[in-house]
Amino acid sequence: MIRIGPAGWSYPDWEGRVWPRVKPRGFHALAFLARFVDCVEINSTFYALPRAEHARRWCQLVAEHPDFAFLVKLHRDFTHERRPEDGDAARALELHAEGFRKGIEPLVSARRLSAVLVQFPVSFRFGADEVRRLGHLRALFDSLRLVLEVRHVSWFAPPALCAIRGLGYSLAWIDLPAAWNHPPDWHEPTGEVGYLRLHGRNAAQWFRRSASRDDRYDWLYAPEDLHALLEKARRIDRATGETYVVTNNHFAGQAVANALELAADLRGAPVDAPATLVRAFPRLAAVTRVVGQGELFPPAGE
């Protein structure tokens, strides 16, 4: 089983490209998006602790889609901040973890949560202290399925892979600009969840220190590259039986456009797409069925 969807849904640059310019009464971006994709990675939880009332609302917004799944990104305090793991600091981290778990509990109760993504920066390298840190996180979130995203090549040699497997993490496959210290194209699965994250290949911006987040993730995959990535997803799924392909090339709605192209290729048939998106990405017309109100092209003179 392969599910495909974008990372996040709340981006100002999606206005008029993913979302319709004129929104009907009661419009909500998540409910709209759930009509076209079958999973979404919640990124807001990386920047702020999730709140249970929001999680309940998310479940309500996708109620019409029983197979829709959520993936949740772990808060950055656990992955991008180095804190002591004993004494008062350890207790503070435990309370932080408790708050995170309570915030996503409605997703768990509704059986909508498929995994929690634990993403570390490229500076996080394999070592004894780092493995202990992963073990501590595993203990804090022992009831959840954890997917590990590490970006340094040192994690992909046998000793590190054995440690990841032993701690019960599913190691993500990631697609990003090539570099000597980035992960290899393939590694053996370590857990029960397949997770392929597509960050784009904008090398000109990715390694530029002053580049913004939008600069780095400004990339539209070509159809032939998407087909190769889908073949990788199929290979992953043969090993795991449950695979998520997350498009994180979010700038200007490119993540949604590529997600629909992947879905059409996976199914071997056109998939539904919002008119606004097809208007923004004309090549979608060949692999989608336009649904919803609005014309693909503006009247003359607009």
Q: Is pLDDT of 21 > 60?
A: yes
pLDDT of residue 84: 63
* CB contact burial 106-139 (16+ within 10 A = b; e otherwise): bbeebebbbbbbbbbeeebebeeebbebbebbbe
Q: Is pLDDT of 302 > 60?
A: no
pTM for the model = 0.94
pLDDT level of residue 293 (50, 70, 90 thresholds):
low
Q: Is pLDDT of 104 > 70?
A: yes
Domains of the chain as residue ranges with CATH: 2-291 (3.20.20.410)
pLDDT of residue 282: 98
- C-alpha pair distances (Å), 233 with each of 223, 236, 254: 15, 5, 19
Interval 62-89 mean pLDDT: 88
pLDDT of residue 86: 67
pLDDT level of residue 83 (50, 70, 90 thresholds):
low
Mean pLDDT of the chain: 94
pLDDT of residue 292: 74
